[in-house]
Amino acid sequence: MKILGVDPGLNATGYGLVETGKDCLTLIEAGIIRTKPRVPLEKRLSELYKGLDEVVQEFSPDVFSVEELYSHYKHPKTAVIMGHARGALLVVAGNAEIPVFSYSATMIKKSLTGAGHATKEQVASMIARTFNCGEMNVQADVTDALAAALCHINHENYGGVF
């Protein structure tokens, strides 16, 4: 089972592809799709779509796991912008007929660390330990995407490996 975790963002969208096996968990691919802030919104959304579509076409994930949309009530514009980015990315999954599973940030953190309000550093530390790669020098967008993938594995209990 290949799970594509995605951390949606307009400036930077993190992704991480994890494969579960009978007794193993493998990190296949991870990265960031970046857009330029001065480019019009529609072009940025197109870049996000194309970037993630390339990943999907190359690796054919079975499942798409993404963080649910959240924004503080004092910043409603942020929620709208994030909704645009998330929507463009979900279209990739829809076109490829990949089932989408959404998890709250709290659920993702709790699934990995046992605490729903874990810090970014705690999440990154769990990702590093899970993939046995020491302290990873990886941006939060990637660790958050991998965390979304691992949350789905924990939630669905694929193979009982994590």
Question: Is there a domain that residue 162 lies in?
Answer: no
Quick check: 82 and 71 in contact, CB under 8 A? Answer: yes
Question: Is there a domain that residue 161 lies in?
Answer: no
* CA–CA dist 23, 122 (Å, integer): 25
* CA–CA dist 13, 6 (Å, integer): 7
Question: Is there a domain that residue 42 lies in?
Answer: yes
* CA–CA dist 43, 49 (Å, integer): 10
Question: Is there a domain that residue 105 lies in?
Answer: yes
Query: CA 31, 26, 123, 159 torsion: positive or negative?
Result: positive
Q: Taking phi first (over 0 means left), then psi (-120 to 50 degrees means alpha), and beta for anything else, what does residue 143 get?
A: alpha
Residue-wise pLDDT tens digits, 53-78: 999 999 999 999 998 877 667 778 88
Residue-wise pLDDT tens digits, 11-34: 999 999 999 987 789 999 999 999
Question: Is there a domain that residue 6 lies in?
Answer: yes
Number of domains within the chain? 1
pLDDT value for 134: 59
Residue-wise pLDDT tens digits, 145-160: 999 999 999 988 754 4
Question: Is there a domain that residue 114 lies in?
Answer: yes
Range of the domain at 45: 2-156
- At 131, the amino acid letter reads F
Give the pLDDT band (50/70/90) at residue 114: confident
pTM passes above 0.85: yes
Question: Is there a domain that residue 32 lies in?
Answer: yes
Quick check: 19 and 161 in contact, CB under 8 A? Answer: no
**CATH classification of the domain holding 99:** 3.30.420.10
Question: Is there a domain that residue 79 lies in?
Answer: yes
Which are the catalytic amino acids? 7, 67, 141
